[in-house]
Amino acid sequence: MAKTTTHQKAAAVRQRGVTMSDVARHAGVSRTAVSFVLSNRENASISEETRIRINDAVQALGYRPNAGARALASQRSDWYGLVTEIVTAPFAVDIIKGAQDQAWLDHRFLLIAPSDQADAVGPNQGLEDAATEKLLEQRVEGLLYAATYHRGVHVPESAHEVPTVLINCFDADGKLPSIVPDERAGGRVAVDRLLRAGHSRIGVINLDPHIPAAIGRLEGAREALAGAGLELDPELVVSGHATADGGYEAACQILDRYPQQDRPTALFCLNDRMAMGAYDAIKERGLTIPGDIAVIGFDNQELIAAYLRPKLTTVALPFEKMGALGVQTLAALTAGQPITADQQLVDCPLLERSSV
């Protein structure tokens, strides 16, 4: 009696407790059969008829497998955890998109946890550790760490308990595999584009020269120039704060430093925000883009690049691809496959618009 009461109460409280047994009962078969059909196993041996009966029962009852129970019993969750500060500083959201789409394709679920590792390597790992811990409690099969900008990071200790891949950042301790943009090739592509348009005197508006993005892109620029038998004039490289204002000031410096005939005819801005400022500096001086000065950016920040007038030709960071590749790499790792390289470089494609 007491037992019955308990059951009824539970049933009343539960929103929708259709279990495999219910399906089996409704289809007039055994639980075993249902389990076989639903996870359509190899060593099947289920007649087409019962298979259909079971599927019908699933439909009729609106049965939904319980992911948690399945994970518990089968000891695999099909979940990956993604720790990222991107949600906080949504510059690289496309990483999430790429990762999520890929995970979806692989029938895996991405658990996204926030990180506040606002910047760099420092042990500001309060939230980050907690996030990792929470994800491991959910028994994720692997971890991804994604950063808003390309840099070295330290990952919490516990991340080493499961396969882990870094996206748009790399392990400062050099132990974990990572996916990063090929900044160098990107810089080369940008400057090549300018060279191809006939420019040979090219000003460069640089970022903080110590970050990987600046180092790689500048190196690429040098290579491209070298390919054309030219050298990068150090005088034409001006660093600025990575904002529109910074770009504006840097552009003013470059433009005002020389008489007209010596003035560079093109500017390579190491990010789009600075290109935005450079536009203003150029226009202010009554010069036209790309007529008098060609401008090429980097990052392909849609809101800027596609809406500047004229629209900005720029090199895109392959966020989406990196996200997808991260998940693929993780999938390989969790499947026990060895991965080839610890650092995978992803191409930065040129986006032609109208500023060159």
Partner DNA sequence: TCCCTTTTTGACAACGTTGTCTTCGTTCGG
Partner DNA sequence: CCGAACGAAGACAACGTTGTCAAAAAGGGA
What's the token pair of residue 260?
């007209």
Of 39 and 337, which has the nearer Cβ to DNA?
Answer: 39
- What counts of helices (H) and strands (E) characterise the chain? 13, 12
Nearer to a copy of itself (CB atom), residue 107 or residue 210: 107
Output the six-digit token pair for 124.
């500001």
Decide whether 96 or 144 has the Cβ nearer to a copy of itself.
96
Query: Toward DNA, which CB reaches closer, 49 or 262?
Result: 49
Nearer to DNA by C-beta: 69 or 105?
69
Give the residue from 235, 257, 251, 242 showing the smallest Cα distance to 284. Answer: 251
Counting other chains too, the contacts that 284-289 makes at CB distance below 8 Å and 24 or more residues apart are 285/255, 287/255, 289/355
Token readout for 168 is 């748009």
CB of 20 to DNA, least distance (A): 3
Query: If contact means CB under 5 to 8 A according to the sort of partner, which of a copy of itself, DNA, none does residue 7 touch?
Result: DNA
> 78, 108 in Cβ contact below 8 A?
yes
Terminal C-alpha separation, the chain: 83
CB 313 within 8 A of CB 354: yes
Burial per residue of 68-95, b for 16 or more beta-carbon CB atoms within 10 angstroms, e otherwise: eeebeeeeebbbbbbbbbbeeeebbbbb
- 8 Å CB contact between 317 and 300: yes
- Binding partner of residue 39 among DNA, a copy of itself, none, CB under 5 to 8 Å per kind? DNA
Q: Pick one of a copy of itself, DNA, none as the site partner of residue 49 (Cβ within 5 to 8 A by kind).
A: DNA
112 vs 296, which CB is nearer to a copy of itself? 112
The one of DNA, a copy of itself, none whose footprint includes residue 19, by CB under 5 to 8 A per kind, is DNA
- Rounded least distance, CB 98 to a copy of itself, Å: 10
- Residues of the chain by 3-state class (helix, strand, coil), percent to 5: 45, 20, 35
Q: Tokens 């990952």 sit at which residue?
A: 155
Q: Which residues bind DNA (CB under 7 A)?
A: 3, 6-7, 10, 14, 17, 19-21, 28-33, 35, 38-39, 41, 45-47, 49-51, 63-66, 69-70, 72-75
Least Cβ distance, residue 322 to a copy of itself (angstroms): 15
45 binds, among a copy of itself, DNA, none (CB under 5 to 8 A by kind): DNA
Whichever of 23 and 144 has its CB closer to DNA, that residue is 23
Which residues lie near a copy of itself (CB under 8 A)?
14-16, 64-69, 71-72, 75, 77, 87-88, 90, 93-94, 96-97, 100-101, 104, 109-114, 133-134, 136-139, 161-162, 243-244, 248, 273, 276-277, 280, 283, 301, 303-304, 307-309
